[in-house]
C-alpha cells in the first residue's frame, strides 16, 4: 500500500468536533487506498499553556523537565484521534514518540531527529492497521529522556516520517489554505502562492513565517519529500494549497517572493568590551552554551581598544543571555561596562530567489522604510534575503508597506 502522511496543526484538532472533521479527511485517504500516518499537534493554545506553567514554576528551567511537560499536549490529541477513527471502524492506534521510537539528540527543547525506525509501524500496517496516529513534536534521547523538537516541531515530525516511510506526499493541514506572500492575518491583500521554492520557504520559515517549522523544510528539501500546505477547513480537492517544490518547477516568480516578520526579538548591547582577538568567541561561546539563539551581530567601530557589541535574540531569552554575560564577567573571561537590553524590537525580512540577479532590492527596501518614517536599528543580508531590526510598534506598518512596494499582491 502507498503511504501518505497527514499532519494536523493545533487549530485543526482544537476540540472534539475538529478532531472528527480531521478524522473524516483521514478516512477519505484510507478509502483512496493509502495506509496513513497522521501526525497531530496539541490542541491550539495547549502548548502555550504548558510552557506558561513551566515558566511560572521555574524561570530558568531544566530543559528535560520542560520537555516532559510540554510534550504532553500531543499525547492527548493522538489518543483522541485514534479513538475517533476506531469509532468510524477504521483500524487505528496512537503512537507516542518513544514508542516508535523517534530517536533524537539530547538537545532538549530543540532536539533534532536522528532516526525513525519503521519496523514497528510497518508490522502493524501489515497486520491490517490502516492509520498510525503519531504524537508530533516529541521524541526520545539516547539517555531515554523525552525530548521536544522546538516550537512548531510537529511539522518536522511529519516530514521526517514521510522521508523515513517513503510516503507519496506529506500534507500539512493548518488554519490557512496555503503559504502566502506574507502572513494573511497581517496583510489582507496577501496572495496565496500555488508553488514556492524550498529555498524561499526555508528563508521565510527561519525568518518567522511560522506556517512551517524551518527544520521541516530543510528535511523535505534534503530528502525530496513532496510537501503540501493546505487548510483542514476547505473541501478536499486535488490541487488545493501550496506545493513546496524545487526551484526548477516554478515557471515565474517575483523578485521578492514574500515578507516575513518575527515579533518578539530583543537587541542586546554590550557596552565597552575589549577589542582583542578572541573577544567574539568569549562572548558568543557562553551564549551558545546557555541555549541563547543569537541571530544578528554587529560589532561597532572601536575606540582606544574598546568597542560595543550588539546582538539580537528572542525576547524570552534575554534573562538567559544576561546571566551568561554576568557569569562570564564574574569568571573574568570578558569585561564590559554595561549590558543594555532593548526588548521592544521586531525583525522584518524580504525573501526571494530573484534577488540573486537583481540589484537595488536592498536600496528599495530602505527607501520604503524611510518613507514610512521607520528607523532601522540593525541590517543583515544574504543572497536571497534582507532583514532589518526595527521598533516593534512599526512592524505591521513595515510589513504592509514592503508588501505593497514590491507588488506582492500580483503574481509575477
* Terminal Cα-to-Cα distance of the chain (whole angstroms): 40
Shortest Å distance, C-beta 267 to ligand ADP:
22
Residue 136 interacts with which of ligand ADP, ligand ASP, Mg ion, none, CB < 5 to 8 Å by class = ligand ASP
Residue identified by cell 500539512 is 172
Return the beta strands (E) in 159-282 as ranges.
169-174, 195-197, 227-231, 242-245, 258-274
Q: How many residues bind ligand ADP (CB under 6 A)?
A: 20
Alpha-carbon distance of 261 to 242, in angstroms, equals: 20
- SS3 assignment for 278-340: CHHHHHHHHHHHCCCCCCCEEECCCECCEEEEEEEEEHHHHHHHHHHHHHHHHCCCCCCCEEE
**Other C-beta atoms lying within 10 Å of the C-beta of residue 26:** 25
Shortest Å distance, C-beta 172 to Mg ion:
8
Q: Which three cell numbers stand for residue 40?
A: 497531530
Within positions 132 to 171, which residues make up the interface with ligand ADP, using CB under 6 A? Answer: 152
One-character DSSP codes across 50-93: HHHHHHHH-TT--HHHHHHHHTHHHHHHHHHHHHHHHHTT--EE
Among 34, 165, 180, 406, binds ligand ADP (CB under 6 A): 180
Sole window of 153-161, 282-290, 326-334, 361-369 interacting with ligand ASP (rule: CB under 6 A): 153-161
Examine residue 208 and tell whether it contacts Mg ion (CB under 5 A).
Answer: no
Indicate the length of the chain as a whole number.
412
Kindly tell me the sign of the dihedral angle through the C-alpha atoms of 209, 411, 184, 172.
negative
Alpha-carbon distance of 154 to 97, in angstroms, equals: 11
Alpha-carbon distance of 353 to 385, in angstroms, equals: 8
Binding track over 1-30 against ligand ASP, x by CB under 6 A: --------xx--------------------
Sole window of 58-66, 148-156, 173-181, 189-197 interacting with ligand ASP (rule: CB under 6 A): 148-156
Examine residue 97 and tell whether it contacts ligand ASP (CB under 6 A).
Answer: no
Cβ nearer to ligand ADP, comparing 10 with 97: 10
Nearest residue to Mg ion by CB is 152
Residue 241 interacts with which of ligand ASP, Mg ion, ligand ADP, none, CB < 5 to 8 Å by class = none
Among 11, 147, 154, 387, binds ligand ASP (CB under 6 A): 154
Shortest Å distance, C-beta 192 to ligand ADP:
8
One-character DSSP codes across 346-376: EEEEEE-GGGGG-SSHHHHHHHHHHHTTPPP
Examine residue 152 and tell whether it contacts Mg ion (CB under 5 A).
Answer: yes
62 preceded by a cis bond (ω within 30 of 0): no
Alpha-carbon distance of 349 to 347, in angstroms, equals: 7
Examine residue 47 and tell whether it contacts ligand ASP (CB under 6 A).
Answer: yes
Binding track over 251-290 against ligand ADP, x by CB under 6 A: -------x--------------------------------
Shortest Å distance, C-beta 229 to Mg ion:
10
CB of 140 closer than 8 Å to CB of 104:
yes
Sole window of 98-106, 116-124, 145-153, 345-353 interacting with ligand ASP (rule: CB under 6 A): 145-153
Among 4, 9, 26, 295, binds ligand ADP (CB under 6 A): 9
Residue 137 interacts with which of ligand ADP, ligand ASP, Mg ion, none, CB < 5 to 8 Å by class = ligand ASP
Which letter does DSSP use for residue 153 in this model?
A: T
Among 96, 110, 157, 182, binds ligand ADP (CB under 6 A): 182
List of residues contacting ligand ADP (CB under 6 A): 9-12, 41, 152, 174-176, 179-180, 182-185, 204, 209-211, 258
List of residues contacting ligand ASP (CB under 6 A): 9-10, 41-42, 47, 73, 136-137, 151-155
Amino acid at each position: 500500500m502507498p503511504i501518505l502522511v497527514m499532519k494536523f496543526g493545533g487549530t485543526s484538532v482544537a476540540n472534539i468536533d475538529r478532531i472528527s472533521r480531521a478524522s473524516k479527511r483521514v478516512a477519505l485517504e484510507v478509502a483512496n487506498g493509502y495506509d496513513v500516518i497522521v501526525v497531530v499537534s496539541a490542541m491550539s493554545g495547549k502548548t502555550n499553556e504548558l510552557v506558561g506553567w513551566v515558566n511560572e514554576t521555574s524561570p530558568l528551567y531544566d530543559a528535560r523537565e520542560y520537555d516532559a511537560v510540554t510534550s504532553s499536549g500531543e499525547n492527548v490529541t493522538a489518543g483522541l484521534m485514534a479513538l475517533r477513527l476506531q469509532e468510524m471502524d477504521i483500524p487505528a492506534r496512537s503512537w507516542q514518540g518513544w514508542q516508535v521510537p523517534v530517536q533524537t539528540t539530547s538537545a532538549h527543547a530543540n532536539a533534532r531527529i536522528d532516526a525513525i525506525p519503521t519496523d514497528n509501524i510497518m508490522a502493524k500496517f501489515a497486520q491490517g492497521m490502516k492509520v498510525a496516529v503519531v504524537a508530533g513534536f516529541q521524541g526520545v534521547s539516547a539517555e531515554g529522556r523525552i525530548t521536544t523538537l522546538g516550537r512548531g516541531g510537529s511539522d518536522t515530525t511529519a516530514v521526517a516520517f514521510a522521508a523515513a516511510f517513503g510516503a507519496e506526499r506529506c500534507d500539512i493541514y493548518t488554519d490557512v489554505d496555503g503559504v502566502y506572500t506574507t502572513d494573511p492575518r497581517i496583510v489582507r491583500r496577501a496572495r496565496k502562492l500555488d508553488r514556492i521554492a524550498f529555498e524561499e520557504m526555508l528563508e521565510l520559515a527561519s525568518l518567522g513565517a511560522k506556517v512551517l517549522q524551518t527544520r521541516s523544510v530543510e528535511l523535505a528539501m534534503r530528502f525530496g519529500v513532496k510537501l503540501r500546505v493546505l487548510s483542514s477547513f476547505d473541501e478536499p480537492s486535488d490541487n488545493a494549497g501550496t506545493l513546496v517544490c524545487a526551484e526548477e518547477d516554478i515557471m515565474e516568480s517575483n523578485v521578492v517572493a514574500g515578507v516575513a516578520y518575527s515579533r518578539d526579538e530583543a537587541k542586546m548591547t554590550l557596552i565597552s568590551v575589549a577589542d582583542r582577538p578572541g573577544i567574539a568567541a568569549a562572548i558568543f561561546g557562553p551564549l551558545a552554551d546557555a541555549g541563547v539563539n543569537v541571530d544578528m551581530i554587529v560589532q561597532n567601530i572601536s575606540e582606544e581598544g574598546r568597542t560595543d557589541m550588539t546582538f539580537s535574540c528572542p525576547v524570552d531569552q534575554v534573562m538567559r543571555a544576561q546571566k551568561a554575560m554576568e557569569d562570564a564577567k564574574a569568571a573574568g573571561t570578558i569585561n564590559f561596562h554595561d549590558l543594555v537590553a532593548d526588548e521592544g524590537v521586531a525583525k522584518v525580512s524580504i525573501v526571494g530567489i530573484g534577488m540573486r540577479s537583481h540589484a537595488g532590492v536592498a536600496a528599495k527596501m530602505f527607501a520604503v522604510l524611510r518613507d514610512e518614517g521607520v528607523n532601522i536599528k540593525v541590517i543583515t543580508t544574504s543572497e536571497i534575503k534582507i532583514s532589518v531590526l526595527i521598533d516593534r510598534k512599526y512592524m505591521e506598518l513595515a510589513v504592509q508597506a514592503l508588501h505593497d512596494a514590491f507588488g506582492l499582491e500580483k503574481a509575477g
